């Protein structure tokens, strides 16, 4: 009986075993391939791995690196997760984005090593995801192309050119104030959409000389596409399996991303074409280059300068103009919007500081809330500028900057090998207690001239620093002064959400997840 059962069992096993072996074989082959590829990558990158693994940081695994830390997290959770890592490993640590090592720097002294270098000027690999949108514009380009673009574009930010934009800043601010008056009844509302539409009107007029009337019009498809694209770029950057264009274009997110690009590029191409036609018409109908057919001073936009810009005898092609216009629109719209929103939010919590701003504005304008500020008026807003700078310290519009390490460099006693992506966390640099005592406190007096003089030059870098600093920072400060001064000349602001309850979203810019809810009352 026992032998018969054994024979039957043996027969059944012999009939089923090949199937199981067939099922197990692909899994074994896959596991073998994973092991072989992993070993090959480790051997190939061993010198890099050896050096980078000397730094503290979370455990990394083959292929996914340490991206599991952020996996399945909501937008509002990502900054909290990063802050947890930063608190644990401060002021320097490493992570792995797939098989690319990332160096995280959070001290002025460490950031200076990268930002001050004339060699380490190549933006990090994560910026390649911006390339379908911005092409090889000034933000992304490097080497000879970046130097040439810089020479062409820097004159566009000369103070005499910026002086021409003050009327645009004021005109768009007045429209915003007229709209906000209907909200100034003491009830809470999100002021951010009003600020961002004002900023969009300003950048369209100053960058391209075209009015889109975003403030009075319906919901802007362009603004919606900017928000959606920013979120998608961050998610893609944190997902190594989506880095391949071949894979990404076949996902629902990738398809939506490229639909957004059609909106973004379509918008800027349309205004470029309109500006070209307008310039042709102006040349035919004016007797002087700076006067229109009605005898008014003609406004010169960045686009006009791009159409005429050259180094030697080389002019920008239509494609290059498109790249720089898209870059202007991205960098000159979203960044200033969040900068102004954070300033309003902080002033709404610190009414004593808000009163000091009111006093300065009263001294400059008296009680005339309709007078347009001149360049001299804007320059006289010393305290408001300190307020803006302190807001940018706590909530920098761009929370981090990434650079590719193209040659070995020593930072904090560690050898950082070529091939590493350096992430300079501006938001954390700005909270270093060594340079900023009581760093969470909002105190504009930190930017009094005598206190600035003794501080590390890289302790405050909201516009980056070194060779790749933002050439539009003066433009941004003047715009923010104008828009904020109009709000504060007309209203008192009270913030609704507590500072400790704010959830920040560190995507391409640092925005509040829940918006910027305030109460306005007329002054």
Mean pLDDT of 15-23: 55
pLDDT in the model for residue 441: 97
- Report whether 100 contacts 63 (CB < 8 A): no
Write the CB contacts of 466 (distance below 8 Å, at least 6 apart in sequence): 115, 116, 117
Is the pLDDT at 296 greater than 70? The verdict is no
* Strand duo 421-425 + 100-105: pairing: parallel
Tell me the two tokens of residue 421: 């992506």
- Report whether 192 contacts 516 (CB < 8 A): yes
Write the CB contacts of 403 (distance below 8 Å, at least 6 apart in sequence): 114, 120, 121, 122, 123, 124, 421, 422, 424
Domains and their CATH numbers in the chain: 67-454+463-522 (1.10.630.10)
Q: Which of 38-42, 63-67, 486-490 has the highest mean pLDDT?
A: 486-490
- Report whether 329 contacts 303 (CB < 8 A): no
Residue-wise pLDDT tens digits, 424-477: 999 999 999 999 999 999 999 999 999 999 899 999 999 999 989 988 899 999
Percent of the chain at pLDDT > 90 equals: 53
pLDDT in the model for residue 302: 83
Give the Cα separation of 36 and 256 in Å (integer): 36
Q: Which of 2-6, 126-130, 412-416, 505-509 comes out lowest in average pLDDT?
A: 2-6
Burial call 398-411: b when 16+ CB within 10 Å, e when fewer: bbbbbbbbeeebeb
Tell me the two tokens of residue 519: 């109460």
- Report whether 466 contacts 113 (CB < 8 A): no
- Report whether 444 contacts 389 (CB < 8 A): yes
Residue 11 assigned to a binding site: no
Place 352 in a pLDDT band, splitting at 50, 70 and 90: very high
pLDDT in the model for residue 295: 43
Tell me the two tokens of residue 425: 């966390």
Is the pLDDT at 196 greater than 70? The verdict is yes
Percent of the chain at pLDDT > 70 equals: 86
φ/ψ of residue 111, rounded to 5: -60, -35
Neighbours of 453 (CB within 10 A): 7
Place 5 in a pLDDT band, splitting at 50, 70 and 90: very low
Residue-wise pLDDT tens digits, 220-247: 787 788 778 877 887 887 787 888 889 9
Query: pTM for this structure?
Result: 0.86
Largest CA distance in the chain: 116
C-alpha radius of gyration, the chain, whole number: 27
- Report whether 105 contacts 410 (CB < 8 A): no
Give the Cα separation of 96 and 53 in Å (integer): 10
What does pLDDT average to over the chain? 86
Give the Cα separation of 212 and 205 in Å (integer): 8
Is the pLDDT at 72 greater than 60? The verdict is yes
Three-state DSSP at 188 gives: strand
Which helix (H) or strand (E) is 495 found in, with range? strand 491-495
């Amino acid at each position: 009986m026992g032998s018969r059962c054994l024979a039957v069992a043996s027969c059944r096993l012999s009939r089923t075993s090949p199937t199981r072996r067939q099922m197990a074989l692909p899994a074994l082959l896959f596991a073998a391939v994973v092991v072989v590829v992993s070993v090959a990558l480790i051997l190939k990158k061993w010198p890099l791995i050896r050096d980078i693994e000397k730094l503290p940081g979370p455990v990394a695994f083959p292929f996914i690196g340490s991206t599991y830390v952020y996996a399945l997290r909501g937008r509002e959770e990502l900054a909290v997760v990063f802050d947890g890592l930063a608190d644990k490993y401060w002021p320097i640590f490493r992570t792995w984005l797939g098989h690319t090592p990332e160096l995280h720097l959070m001290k002025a002294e460490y950031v200076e090593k990268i930002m001050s270098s004339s060699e380490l000027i190549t933006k990090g690999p994560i910026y390649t995801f911006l390339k379908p949108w911005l092409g090889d514009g000034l933000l992304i380009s490097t080497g000879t192309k970046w130097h040439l673009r810089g020479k062409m574009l820097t004159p566009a930010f000369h103070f005499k050119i910026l002086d021409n934009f003050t009327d645009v800043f004021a005109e768009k601010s007045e429209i915003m104030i007229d709209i906000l008056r209907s909200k100034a009844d003491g009830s809470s509302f999100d002021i951010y959409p009003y600020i961002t539409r004002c900023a969009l009107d300003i950048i369209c007029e100053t960058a391209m000389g075209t009015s889109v009337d975003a403030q009075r019009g319906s919901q802007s498809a362009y603004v919606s596409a900017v928000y959606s694209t920013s979120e998608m770029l961050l998610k893609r950057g944190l997902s190594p399996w989506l880095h391949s264009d071949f894979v990404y274009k076949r996902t629902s997110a990738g398809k939506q991303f490229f639909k957004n690009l059609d909106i973004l590029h379509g918008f800027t191409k349309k205004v470029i074409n309109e500006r070209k036609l307008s310039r042709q018409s102006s040349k035919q109908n004016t007797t002087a280059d700076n006067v229109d057919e009605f005898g008014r001073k003609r406004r010169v936009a960045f686009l006009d300068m791009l159409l005429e810009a050259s180094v030697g005898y080389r002019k920008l092609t239509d494609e290059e103009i498109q790249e720089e216009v898209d870059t202007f629109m991205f960098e000159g719209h979203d960044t200033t919007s969040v900068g102004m929103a954070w300033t309003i939010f902080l002033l709404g919590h610190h009414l004593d500081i808000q009163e000091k701003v009111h006093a300065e504005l009263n001294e400059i304008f008296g009680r005339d809330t309709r007078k347009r500020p001149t360049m001299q008026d804007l320059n006289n807003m010393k305290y408001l500028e300190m307020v803006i700078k302190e807001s940018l310290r706590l909530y920098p519009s761009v929370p981090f900057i990434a650079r590719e390490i193209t040659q070995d460099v020593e930072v904090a006693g560690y050898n950082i090998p070529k091939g590493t992506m350096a992430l300079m966390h501006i938001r954390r640099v700005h909270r270093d207690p060594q340079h900023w005592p009581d760093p969470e406190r909002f105190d504009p007096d930190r930017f009094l001239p005598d206190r600035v003089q003794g501080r590390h030059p890289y302790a405050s870098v909201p516009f980056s620093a070194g060779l790749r600093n933002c050439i539009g920072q003066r433009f941004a400060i003047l715009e923010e002064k104008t828009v904020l001064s109009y709000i504060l000349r007309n209203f008192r602001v009270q913030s609704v959400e507590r500072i400790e309850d704010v959830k920040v979203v560190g995507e391409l810019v640092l925005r509040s997840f829940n918006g910027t809810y305030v109460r306005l009352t007329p002054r």
